[in-house]
């Protein structure tokens, strides 16, 4: 029997990504959509063939098995929490929420209602999975380099570059993918030391926008960072160098994950996401005692990781053991981002930053 799904939010992610993928997948039946904007509802209703509602209060656990939430970041906790409180399970793509207080809201809603499932596509990539298989052979892990650097790729959607709606800039966007990948490779961990800096050299210059996204141009000046650079230490002693950039002076959009261990180093160079200005093919190498060996990677089309998320989503939904997992994984990431921004502010402000909790 198909899982009956409502898609909540008809912006780029809901309209261009999740709706087509869900409709193509044998495990799911899209039976409703929700969007607060009358124009978006009217445009979608002409071809949708399903009910299109103005608010999530129109949905019920009797009619819906799962809500796929694709609303702006600042509405994640409110919308997902409301749905879960009525017993409707939620699939929520990164960032799960924006503050530690919102993590608590989602945890409380899940305890008394529907399950929360988090989506973060990078861990479902074939090259990331192959890298994960190498990690146990690297010995004791000492350091990880994480970078996702776009050449030109600032989102053009207005809310995406407004701090009060997005929570922050590239750190919440590309950075969350990198941090989730780290947790996938090494297991969950708390960050005991966080030092970060941010910059905004490109975010208000239209020539650096992401041409492949079908967003409207931003109406207001952006007030978020386009680049975040940091150095982190986990509670297991592993150090992490982090860089996320929506735009740069590089020729291509490249993602780098380099895992350094006592017995060897594994390095993956690829491009996460949908940008056409990408690394031609992902490259994975293993280096030990002066010898570097290329590792064969399976070929896959761009975006396969999003389809692969759906392949296992129905099984995750049916497994009560997944209750609480999304909240537990989101909590250290959100706390790290809070501390990262505090560190970045302190670099511009001589007043001391409060000690980490």
What CATH code is carried by the domain that includes residue 46?
3.40.50.720
In the 3-class helix/strand/coil scheme, how is 52-84 assigned residue by residue? Answer: EECCHHHCCCCCCCEEEECCCHHHHHHHHHHHH
- Taking residues 340-357, report their average pLDDT: 72
Task: Give the domain-ending residue among 87, 104, 121.
Answer: 121
Q: Is residue 245 part of a domain?
A: yes
pLDDT-derived band at 352, boundaries 50, 70, 90: low
Report the pLDDT value the prediction gives residue 206, as an integer from 0 to 100: 81
- Please name the residue that has the structure tokens 């207005």: 158
Reply yes or no on whether the pLDDT at 217 is more than 70: no
**Alpha carbon distance 255, 151 (integer Å):** 11
What CATH code is carried by the domain that includes residue 291?
3.30.360.10
Cβ atoms of 188 and 118 within 8 Å: the answer is no
Q: Is residue 335 part of a domain?
A: no
**Alpha carbon distance 2, 194 (integer Å):** 44
Q: Are residues 137 and 177 located together in one domain of the fold?
A: yes
Q: Are residues 112 and 148 located together in one domain of the fold?
A: no
Q: How many domains are contained in the chain?
A: 2
Parallel, antiparallel, or unpaired for β 116-119 and 90-93? parallel
Q: Is residue 160 part of a domain?
A: yes
**Top-confidence residue, 143 or 159:** 143
pLDDT-derived band at 156, boundaries 50, 70, 90: confident
Reply yes or no on whether the pLDDT at 94 is more than 60: yes
The Cα-based distances of 134 to 121, 285, 287 in angstroms read: 20, 10, 11
Q: Is residue 334 part of a domain?
A: no
Q: Is residue 315 part of a domain?
A: no
Q: Are residues 145 and 78 located together in one domain of the fold?
A: no
253-311: pLDDT as tens digits: 999 999 999 999 999 999 999 999 999 999 999 999 999 999 999 999 999 999 999 99
| pTM value > 0.85 | yes
- Taking residues 184-207, report their average pLDDT: 95
- Taking residues 158-170, report their average pLDDT: 92
Q: Is residue 327 part of a domain?
A: no
Q: Is residue 229 part of a domain?
A: yes
Q: At what angle do helices 76-85 and 100-112 cross, to 10 degrees?
A: 10
Percent of the chain having pLDDT more than 90?
Answer: 85
Report the pLDDT value the prediction gives residue 190, as an integer from 0 to 100: 96
In this structure, of 94-98, 153-157, 224-228, 246-250, the range with the lowest mean pLDDT score is 153-157
Reply yes or no on whether the pLDDT at 189 is more than 60: yes
**Alpha carbon distance 196, 211 (integer Å):** 28
Q: Is residue 21 part of a domain?
A: yes
Give the pair of three-digit tokens for residue 176: 């969350």
Q: Are residues 222 and 244 located together in one domain of the fold?
A: yes
pLDDT-derived band at 83, boundaries 50, 70, 90: very high
- Taking residues 238-248, report their average pLDDT: 98
- Taking residues 201-226, report their average pLDDT: 76
Cβ atoms of 177 and 272 within 8 Å: the answer is yes
pLDDT-derived band at 349, boundaries 50, 70, 90: low
The Cα-based distances of 93 to 84, 134, 237, 276 in angstroms read: 15, 27, 29, 22
Cβ atoms of 166 and 160 within 8 Å: the answer is yes
Q: Are residues 114 and 130 located together in one domain of the fold?
A: no
pLDDT-derived band at 212, boundaries 50, 70, 90: low
Q: Are residues 174 and 78 located together in one domain of the fold?
A: no
Taking Cα atoms as reference points, which of 242, 250, 255 lies closest to residue 282? 255
Report the pLDDT value the prediction gives residue 351, as an integer from 0 to 100: 54
Buried b (16+ CB within 10 A) or exposed e, 219-243: eeebebbbbbbbebbbeeebebebb
Q: Are residues 134 and 246 located together in one domain of the fold?
A: yes
Q: Are residues 172 and 294 located together in one domain of the fold?
A: yes
- Taking residues 7-19, report their average pLDDT: 92
Structural domain for 242, as ranges? 123-306
Report the pLDDT value the prediction gives residue 209, as an integer from 0 to 100: 83
């Amino acid at each position: 029997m198909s899982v009956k799904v409502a898609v909540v939010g008809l912006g780029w992610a809901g309209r261009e990504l999740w709706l087509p993928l869900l409709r193509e997948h044998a495990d799911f039946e899209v039976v409703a959509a929700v969007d607060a904007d009358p124009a978006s509802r009217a445009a979608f209703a002409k071809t949708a063939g399903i009910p299109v509602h103005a608010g999530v209060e129109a949905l019920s656990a009797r009619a819906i098995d799962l809500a796929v939430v694709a609303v702006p970041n600042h509405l994640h906790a409110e919308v997902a929490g409301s749905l879960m409180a009525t017993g409707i399970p939620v699939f929520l793509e990164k960032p799960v929420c924006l503050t530690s207080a919102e993590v608590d809201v989602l945890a409380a809603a899940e305890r008394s209602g529907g399950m929360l499932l988090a989506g973060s596509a990078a861990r479902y990539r074939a090259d990331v999975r192959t890298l994960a298989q190498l990690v146990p052979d690297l010995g004791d892990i000492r350091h990880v380099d994480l970078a996702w650097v776009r050449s030109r790729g600032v989102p053009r959607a207005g809310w995406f570059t407004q701090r009060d709606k997005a929570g922050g800039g590239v750190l919440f966007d590309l950075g969350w993918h990198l941090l989730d990948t780290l947790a996938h490779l090494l297991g969950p961990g708390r960050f005991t030391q966080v030092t970060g800096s941010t910059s905004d050299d490109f975010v208000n210059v239209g020539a650096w926008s992401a041409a492949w996204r079908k967003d409207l141009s931003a109406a207001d000046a952006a007030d978020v960072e386009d680049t975040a650079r940091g150095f982190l230490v986990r509670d297991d002693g592993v150090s992490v160098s982090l860089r996320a950039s929506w735009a740069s002076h590089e020729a291509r959009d490249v993602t780098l994950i380099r895992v350094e261990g006592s017995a060897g180093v594994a390095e993956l160079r690829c491009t996460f996401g949908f940008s056409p200005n990408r690394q031609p093919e992902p490259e994975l190498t293993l280096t030990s005692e002066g010898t570097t060996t290329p590792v064969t990677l399976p070929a896959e089309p761009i975006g396969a990781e999003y389809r692969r998320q759906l392949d296992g989503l129905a099984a995750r939904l049916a497994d009560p053991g997944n209750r609480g997992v999304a909240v537990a994984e989101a909590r250290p990431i959100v706390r790290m981002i809070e501390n990262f921004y505090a560190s970045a502010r302190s670099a511009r402000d001589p007043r001391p930053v409060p000690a980490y909790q």
